[in-house]
Amino acid sequence: MHVRKGDLVKVLAGRDKGKEGHIIRAIPKENRVVVEKVNLVKRHQRATPDSEGGVITLEAPIHVSNVMKVCTSCKKPTRIAHKFLANGKKVRACKHCGATLD
């Protein structure tokens, strides 16, 4: 996947189009990510001895193709390029400004 946990992303499609948030969890097997304060759903939770019951709001996963990484230097949503550093390490780079994202 082109994004990782902790990345700042912008939502490209869906009900929350245009919102930005950090990735809380990545699910590579399903090609989905959970973004903070995006795709909020309400769930009914049964009371247990250690937690109260009621309606809770949580983030649901969205498809990874609907998010785009935001570059830290130029502050634009960007596609990911891959570069090799002098020591041979492969890093992600911004397509607009060329800055490394890792």
Task: Express each pLDDT in 38-55 by its tens digit.
Answer: 999 999 999 999 989 999
13 lies in the same domain as 31: yes
**Residue given tokens 């800055």 in the structure block:** 99
90 lies in the same domain as 41: no
Q: Has residue 102 got a pLDDT over 90?
A: no
| Domain assignment of residue 34, yes or no | yes
- Where does the chain show beta strands of DSSP type E? 8-11, 20-27, 32-35, 40-45, 54-59, 62-63, 67-69, 80-84, 90-94
Number of domains in the chain: 2
52 lies in the same domain as 87: no
| Domain assignment of residue 45, yes or no | yes
90 lies in the same domain as 60: no
What is the pLDDT of the chain when averaged over all its residues? 95
Q: What is the mean pLDDT of residues 86-98?
A: 93
Residue-range definition of the domain harbouring residue 38: 8-70
In the chain, the amino acid numbered 29 is K
